[in-house]
Structure 1
Amino acid sequence: MKRTIALTCALGLAAGSPLAAPAVPKTAAPNTVAAAPYQRDAYVIPYKKFVLQNGLTLIVHEDHSVPIVGVNIWYHVGSRNEKRGKTGFAHLFEHFFFNGSENYPHGFREAMDDLGTNNRNGTTNNDRTNFFEDVPVSALERTLYLEADRMGFLANYISKEMLERERGVVQNEKRQGENQPYGRVHLEKSARMYPYSHPYSWPVIGSMDDLNAASLEDIREWYRTYYGPNNAVVSLAGDITPEQALALVKKYFESIPPGPPLPRTEQWIPRLERNLRDEMEDHVPQVRIYRSWHVPGWRDLDSTRLAVFSDVLAGSKNARLNRRLIDEKQLATAVSAGVDVNELSSTFDIAVTVRPGVDPALVEKELDAVLNEALDKGPTAQEVARVKASALASFARGIERLGGFGGRSDVLAESVTYGGAPDAYLRQLDALTAVQPAQLKTVAATWLRAPHYTMTVKPFAKLSAAAQAIDRKVLPALGDAPAVKFPAMQQATLSNGLKVRLLERHVAPIVNVALAFDAGTSADTPAKAGLASLTLELLDKGTRQRDAYQMSDALESLGARLTTGTGPDMSVMRLQATSANLAPSLALLAEAALAPAFPADQFALAKQRRLAGIAQEKAQPNALALRTLPALLYGADSGYGLPPSGFEQSVASLTREDLVAWHRDWFKPGSAAIVVSGDTTLDKVVPMLEAAFGKWPAGQAPAKPKTTDAGLASAGKRIYLIDKPDAPQSTLLAGHLSLPPGQPEDLAMEPVMQNFGGMATSRLNRNLRLDKHWSYGGGARLSSVRGPRNFYTLIAVQTDKTKESMIEVDKEIRGIAGSRPIQGDEFTSIMRNMTSRLAGRFETINALEAAALETINLGLPEDYWANYAPNMRALTPPQLAGAAGKFIRPEDVTWVVVGDLKKIEPRIRELGWGDVIVLDNDGKRVR
């Protein structure tokens, strides 16, 4: 974020960007090669500038040499715009920009990777925030759409959850930076050098206290104030014409409303009244001395001239400080000097890393001697010519690139942001190339004979550890797993028959409310597959009273969040609320559940997203296999056999009226239940629920379609192959139908499945990942449905080990089914795992809610979870073996293998495991 800059940045260019080089003196110095005269035109970056009606500035540089465009967006907002007590907002908001936006609620980084971008990032400093990416020209329109969406449509997408997540990320970034050697120096330096009221006196990343105190409204207000188009520059450089660029930018950006006008201080250069000195100890290997002076900001050409002087002092082997301190006197191991350029003011900085064993006072004495000599006599013509030539070459190397730090798009954006014109950098180049030794001597004396700040960082004093008092070869014993208490599941019924269950927990002032309907994907038919999940997805996208944005604002104003989900047997709406705002939050939940509008525009967008999502599922080998197997096991007409997302043809055929009808049929209080968990009581919450849902007319949902053909449960081994040409891995999915829930052995199957394929060190992973290294890892599970459950294993293996891996998976299935039961140390280990992790399993109210929903869905006894821990601890090896033998049937396994058939099919057929059938990615037989 903050960076110490040598000559390149004194030109106002971003760190790493090349510098404009100076003109060569008429007479070359002895023993040097004369540099070519400064040709200004060679450094001009042609551009066209446009200003949209909303104030957005567009700069376009046309270059068709490669089919990419450097996209660089600068917002004229940084930490200087913050106030004490509310610092770190600019940098925090930079993080928000990568989370997605209202119309593209997905990660921006992932989107950019998908588009084939390079050199992408975002940065924040005192004065600006920028985002940049180099994109293939084919992806430019998509990129501009995404950039416009996060410029204009981010506020309603920012959630409390996002704030908490990104606040934590930034705080860890702050810890990481400060944990580096010399990482705290800049914090101390800024606080000491600048007046308390100066906006550079706090760090760009902010303080921990301020980050912790930041509220959602604080963040939204910051966004509304500073991220409008009138405070931004879009700079495009590359394979595009100005006319094309203007059309695209108008299309996506011009309708974004401008933000408020912003007052802006142009210059504030503090003056130190006397020399200041600090000393700190840190976890550093060597003493380092920092010396800093206040100097002018970006617009003042003295900052450019001072950068030349800094390179005279340091920056090359032959520079004065390098030569004296490192080579001649051997007092230091590293020396640097530069101008840290900012808009209001800059600092001239010298840093010297002291050679071990050398007295820092001696180093400071020599530093002062070198500096005073340079100030007294000025630099030589040879030194100035060398620095200017080097700087020009550096600048030229930078503008070879279209994008990124120091590339053409970056230079133009920075120039218009700080200098008021896209070619403002040329003034700096002119000043650089024109400066002569006498002028440089005057400028340096003006600014560097003023009082300065010195910080000396020393290693911590050596400490010693206590004498060894334990034998570290002895592994400490484990105590018994802690007792686990599950809160009582309290019950009530509303006047319309809606059942209520409450699990109290008062550790935080939050409440979860889940409204569960007896529907789910098993309520779908093949012709309307995907209808249940699509209906749920649109419930919070607008009601008869509010559109999607108004609903979002209403929820967020209460600190509430509403989400939906669809499982095989249940459809669920989840509300996360604060206990203080529970009643109005419940009213919004009821509004979304009972009065959805299913707006036509939102419906159309949801269908588009769903169809794209299905295509993605079919392109992913694991997802494709998981879409295919259920229909093979349950039958094509079974609700359990349908993919939750649906098929392209079924989703394409859905109408808004289908969603309205599905909602009308399945949203009935007699077929629903409400689960409340968290900081409330039954006496408090039931009147609230009655007020929100009591007027919902009583009724019952229809009977569901059949979920399975029982005859398929013992179909025998079959292998289905799906071709994925040139795939480097094969996905192996092996499964069969097993028993429905309600069996006496259900509990014992949990440690069986955990040990077989539920953790990183499961049998499956120990074999194929840890021992043979044929796979990154896989897993196994027994699905949680009301009907016959699906036992399956899923693992991706290297292509040339497909047949061998199938043999190993089959061996592991046979082993867990009976030939190698869990016993001895393996039993002890898995039961320790199962019982010890119970303490954390129900830590959150989300976990309590999930347990209650499972109770409702599977018809578990009301005291099931209260007795869960002691019942788990009481299991024995014979019980696990009996459960595995009853639930897992190796001879009934159906295989789905997705891979490069030209490489794997012949060897799979060699197995002789029954019929081998080739399917397409829609699950239809090819041969």
Structure 2
Amino acid sequence: MLKSFLAAGVAAVCFTSPAFAQTATAAAKAAPAAAPVSSLVSAIDIPYQQFTLKNGLHVVVHTDRKAPVVAVSVWYDVGSKHEPKGKTGFAHLFEHLMFNGSENAPGDFFEPLQQVGATDSNGTTYYDRTNYFETVPTAALDRALFLESDRMGYLTGAITQGVLDEQRGVVQNEKRQGDNQPYGLLRYKLNEGLFPASHPYGHETIGSMADLDAATLTTVKDWFRDHYGPNNAVLVLAGDVDVATAKRLVEKYFGAIPAGPKSVAPAAAIPTALPGPSSEVIKDNVAATLIVKTWAVPGLNDDAAEALDVAAGVLGGLESSRFDNELVKREKLAVQVSAENESFAQVGTFSISAVVRPGADPAVVSRRMDEILAEFLKNGPSADEVNRYVTQTVSRRIGGLESVGGFGGKAVALAEGALYSNDPGYYKKQLARLAAQTPASVKAAADKWLSRPSYSVSVVPGKRDAYAEAKVPPAVQVAAAPEQAPKGTRGPLPAVGQVAGLSFPKVERAKLSNGIELVYAQRGTVPMTQAVLSFDAGVAADVADKLGTQALTLAMIDEGTRELNSVALVEAKERLGASIGTGSSADRTTLSLRVPSANLAAASQIWADVARAPAFPEGELGRVKTQQLTAIQQELTSPEGLARRVLPKLIAPNSPYAKAQGSGDPRAVQALTRADLVAFQQAWLRPDKAKIFVVSDRPLPEIRKVMEQRFGDWRASGAAGQKAFPRVTEATRPRVVLIDRPDSPQSLIVAGAPTGLKGTDELLPVEVGNDALGGSFLGRINMDLRETKHWSYGAFGGFRRYEMAAPYQVQAPVQANQTGPSIAAMRGDIAGYVGQQPMTQPEFDRAINGATRSLSGDFETAGDVLNAMQQNDLYKRPGDYYATITQKYRALTLPQVNAATRAAIDPNKFVWVVVGDARVVQPQLGAVGLPVEVMPAASVVSPTGAPAVSTAQSSGAAAAR
């Protein structure tokens, strides 16, 4: 519902002065003409065929031969809206149960899927549906259909009490993980206030703890029989498949499954208007007040849906939105704003929100939100505002449909239309309605629905309000569900045919006249160009005694140029459907561009202007600083934010990578001047530190010409920045650092250890070795904490690959009362893996098969290729690295992989950081066998910006080293 504060809080654009209207208008007249929206809409086409089996299974097929992969997507007409009182969370619980094996394919479904190289393998549940999806090599389509059909028709015999108890525990920890975030209780309040308790959309999909606890083996099996028949499902196959093949295979695997009861959409009328504005205030461990106002509105099949989408974009969705311009830039009352129209099948919700600037009066912000909305309702949007929103939305849709499956590809578009609107091609009607919007149509829809009283919730800083869902059940040891033998009634799992090798596009290189290297690959699947201007800078280049300089520089870099002020710049991007963004990794700082290729010439002009001539306007520096300082304070209320600040310095205190301290040191950021930002930009974001990476449907000569025009005459001046990586001399001191975050229903555990490796080393052996430890869902750490002990929603580990280092890190959010045992379990898993229980031959085979067979899916999109090109450059690998990687995998041996893993990971060097409630957690840590240091969350940033740690050893901790 809300824009991510930590992701967007310091990257907003600014409003400079009342002169903006004239400047913006002049810039709009001077800007190159954009391709008409109609031409962009016409580029979106997903041809399909469909058929229905006798048992009612609706099948939709889209053929796309760009890669030898097929997206398999099964959507069931069952979601949380179908849950009666007392069974909230059942649909989502079943999403988990259906991954735990079926009668003829027992065991975790990720095992056979990883063996075939599946990518984008997952499942989700929401109000209207439950879906399961994976993208598999064409040669593995039989196996994927066998698995999907077996859990559709042959599941109940595989659900044991042990499986139910395990997955109930996993789901409850997923719920706690969401609750544990800042503003984590807001979702419950919004549902309760907007919909009656008896309304189908009146409870959260995750359900209540009480209902999950009450689920019995009988009730969950009855739930399955009532809802998961083939006549309640849509199966979409998209990719390297044709309808004749689909008919044969779908009939073979699904045809014998009998139909079940047909789902009936519950009555779900839009609630009657509230008698008047209604508001509530809740307290939470947050750094800034959040105000959300929301309305119940029509769903996606209503003609008003697209008009309300535009209204949300104009009010708070676009970078140039009215809330941004007024509340953030002009009046400086908020540090972040947003608006969203979320359309479900039967109803929708429209929300506007603002994160109040610390020190500002929330009542004033709330009033101004109402006033800006009232002005919008009175006069409506401008034609330019409507056009900018539509262009941006269509541009994003073009890019998103490059993928055949996953969370938002072609299969999703077809499945949503088929399930919600009985029309797989409904996306075209939605796009046509969107493109047809006018100021009048948007105003009419907004007048009708947003003039009604809103329900408002304010989340204010304070001790979190008590809530029933925080409870943790008494510790009960649940034995792992016994392995079930296959019933064999349908024969063995289908064999996997010969998987086609990866066809990685040819990577070409050229140089601009000033020496900037251009690295290029052509992908013609969608008419888009993606480019990255990558500088040799990154977190390692941040100013040691002014941490946060890089972040503030990037936040200010698009606040205006010599040609355009910030508002004019943002509006120009939106008219072109272009996205220009900044980013930073440990080693590189980037300025990226994504745009329909028809608008590349015009968009690249803006992109280059941002890179070469940022104005860093003095008048906006205070506001952007405030946004960054607020982001820092928000990080100090977030489990992940706290852990990210503490761990890097504990692993490698002398390394430049230890500068990874969130959004920086607040005292340093407060003191930064415009001169500091200009100095950083001139030292690091300069042509002699730059490379340009491009993936486009346009040929290299055309791309090179555009880049030469934009950057070929760019010259560096002054001294370039230099990064220093001293030899590591200080050994890691193993211990547990407990960050006290009171009232946390979960603990976040992160840990790390140096390895002596560098990112430029050939890490393939240790990455394969990690697959069975922490690198996949089936890794021992995750299977232990999630599936066996059900203490966590997910636990993983891996090598953090930087250019000059590659530490090993693990992360596990766990229920608070099992924090100590979880650390002990992970320490045991790691020690065993590099000791007496190394990777086995089946684990090795699974890792190699999964890695090699997934390659075509791994590099399905232009974005995948663009990322790979940058990684190859950073790690000093040849451009054809991925074209030859299959041979590298096949050349590895199990002894080689185990030896490399043992040499890299030393279990005695790990530092463990825990973010949790010290009252609950600290008594558990004595049995871990490590020294324990405790620090309040408020002291994570000391007056000097360094982690401040007070030591308090737990009993027995000194005995183990």
TM-score under structure 2 normalisation?
Answer: 0.55
Residue 621 of structure 2 aligns with an amino acid whose one-letter code is: F
Whether the 8 Å CA contact 1:734–1:793 is kept in 2: the answer is yes
d(CA) in 1 for partners of 2:457, 2:784: 52
Superposition pairs of residues 633-644 of structure 1, within 5 angstroms: 633-635=651-653, 638-644=656-662
Asked if residue 89 in structure 1 is aligned to residue 106 in structure 2, the reply is no
Q: CA deviation at 1:536?
A: 2.0
Distance 1:483 1:65, change over 3 A: closer
Residue 611 of structure 2 aligns with an amino acid whose one-letter code is: A
d(CA) in 1 for partners of 2:930, 2:349: 59
Asked if residue 648 in structure 1 is aligned to residue 666 in structure 2, the reply is yes
Partner of 2:429: 210
Asked if residue 579 in structure 1 is aligned to residue 603 in structure 2, the reply is no
Q: Aligned to 1:921, which of 930, 937, 940? A: 940
Does the residue aligned with 2:552 lie in a helix, a strand or coil? helix
Residue 517 of structure 1 aligns with an amino acid whose one-letter code is: F
Partner of 2:691: 673
Distance 1:585 1:654, change over 3 A: same
Whether the 8 Å CA contact 1:529–1:644 is kept in 2: the answer is no
Does the residue aligned with 1:665 lie in a helix, a strand or coil? helix
Question: Over residues 230-287 of structure 1, what are the superposed CA-to-partner deviations in whole Å (9 max), with x where a residue is unaligned?
Answer: 99736479999xxxxxxxxxxxxxxxxxxxxxxxxxxxxxxxxxxxxxxxxxxxxxxx
Q: CA deviation at 1:99?
A: 7.3
Partner of 1:526: 544
Does the residue aligned with 1:597 lie in a helix, a strand or coil? coil
Residue 497 of structure 1 aligns with an amino acid whose one-letter code is: G
Partner of 1:492: 510
Distance 1:822 1:479, change over 3 A: farther
Q: Aligned to 1:769, which of 779, 783, 786? A: 786
Partner of 1:683: 701
Residue 632 of structure 1 aligns with an amino acid whose one-letter code is: L
Partner of 1:334: none
Does the residue aligned with 1:527 lie in a helix, a strand or coil? coil
d(CA) in 1 for partners of 2:719, 2:506: 29
Partner of 1:791: 808
TM-score under structure 1 normalisation?
Answer: 0.57
Question: Over residues 370-395 of structure 1, what are the superposed CA-to-partner deviations in whole Å (9 max), with x where a residue is unaligned?
Answer: xxxxxxxxxxxxxxxxxxxxxxxxxx
Q: Aligned to 1:554, which of 565, 572, 595? A: 572
Q: CA deviation at 1:70?
A: 12
The Cα RMSD (Å) is: 4.6
Partner of 2:928: 911
Partner of 1:738: 755
Distance 1:132 1:572, change over 3 A: closer
d(CA) in 2 for partners of 1:743, 1:63: 59
Partner of 1:233: 451
Partner of 2:679: 661
Q: CA deviation at 1:631?
A: 1.2
d(CA) in 2 for partners of 1:70, 1:652: 29
d(CA) in 2 for partners of 1:743, 1:570: 14
Whether the 8 Å CA contact 1:92–1:170 is kept in 2: the answer is no
d(CA) in 2 for partners of 1:78, 1:510: 28
Residue 948 of structure 2 aligns with an amino acid whose one-letter code is: K
Residue 702 of structure 1 aligns with an amino acid whose one-letter code is: A
Residue 925 of structure 1 aligns with an amino acid whose one-letter code is: V
Distance 1:641 1:898, change over 3 A: same
Q: Aligned to 2:766, which of 738, 749, 773? A: 749
Question: Over residues 313-342 of structure 1, what are the superposed CA-to-partner deviations in whole Å (9 max), with x where a residue is unaligned?
Answer: xxxxxxxxxxxxxxxxxxxxxxxxxxxxxx
Distance 1:105 1:732, change over 3 A: farther
Distance 1:144 1:748, change over 3 A: farther
d(CA) in 2 for partners of 1:140, 1:523: 42
Farther-moved stretch of structure 1 (584-593 vs 67-76): 67-76
Q: CA deviation at 1:588?
A: 1.6
Distance 1:768 1:105, change over 3 A: farther
Asked if residue 508 in structure 1 is aligned to residue 526 in structure 2, the reply is yes
Whether the 8 Å CA contact 2:933–2:950 is kept in 1: the answer is no
Distance 1:707 1:610, change over 3 A: farther
d(CA) in 1 for partners of 2:683, 2:735: 39
Superposition pairs of residues 312-461 of structure 1, within 5 angstroms: none
Question: Over residues 405-435 of structure 1, what are the superposed CA-to-partner deviations in whole Å (9 max), with x where a residue is unaligned?
Answer: xxxxxxxxxxxxxxxxxxxxxxxxxxxxxxx
Does the residue aligned with 2:928 lie in a helix, a strand or coil? coil
Q: Aligned to 1:517, which of 521, 530, 535? A: 535
Whether the 8 Å CA contact 1:61–1:237 is kept in 2: the answer is no
Higher relative contact order (CA 8 A, sep 6+): 2
d(CA) in 1 for partners of 2:927, 2:708: 65
Structure 2 gap segments, 5+ residues each: 1-193, 198-272, 283-290, 328-333, 401-407, 459-487, 942-946, 952-961
Does the residue aligned with 2:793 lie in a helix, a strand or coil? strand
Whether the 8 Å CA contact 1:502–1:676 is kept in 2: the answer is yes
Q: CA deviation at 1:533?
A: 2.3
Asked if residue 882 in structure 1 is aligned to residue 882 in structure 2, the reply is no
d(CA) in 1 for partners of 2:292, 2:902: 62
Question: Over residues 431-460 of structure 1, what are the superposed CA-to-partner deviations in whole Å (9 max), with x where a residue is unaligned?
Answer: xxxxxxxxxxxxxxxxxxxxxxxxxxxxxx
Asked if residue 859 in structure 1 is aligned to residue 883 in structure 2, the reply is no
Residue 868 of structure 1 aligns with an amino acid whose one-letter code is: I
Question: Over residues 124-176 of structure 1, what are the superposed CA-to-partner deviations in whole Å (9 max), with x where a residue is unaligned?
Answer: 999x9995899999966545555666758975566235666799999866544
Distance 1:804 1:176, change over 3 A: same
Does the residue aligned with 1:739 lie in a helix, a strand or coil? coil
Distance 1:473 1:95, change over 3 A: farther
Q: CA deviation at 1:556?
A: 2.8
Partner of 1:20: none
Asked if residue 726 in structure 1 is aligned to residue 743 in structure 2, the reply is yes
Superposition pairs of residues 24-103 of structure 1, within 5 angstroms: 89-90=306-307, 92-93=309-310, 100-102=317-319
Q: CA deviation at 1:808?
A: 1.0
Whether the 8 Å CA contact 1:775–1:796 is kept in 2: the answer is yes
Distance 1:893 1:65, change over 3 A: closer
Whether the 8 Å CA contact 2:548–2:669 is kept in 1: the answer is yes
Whether the 8 Å CA contact 2:760–2:876 is kept in 1: the answer is no
Distance 1:94 1:741, change over 3 A: same
Q: CA deviation at 1:700?
A: 7.9
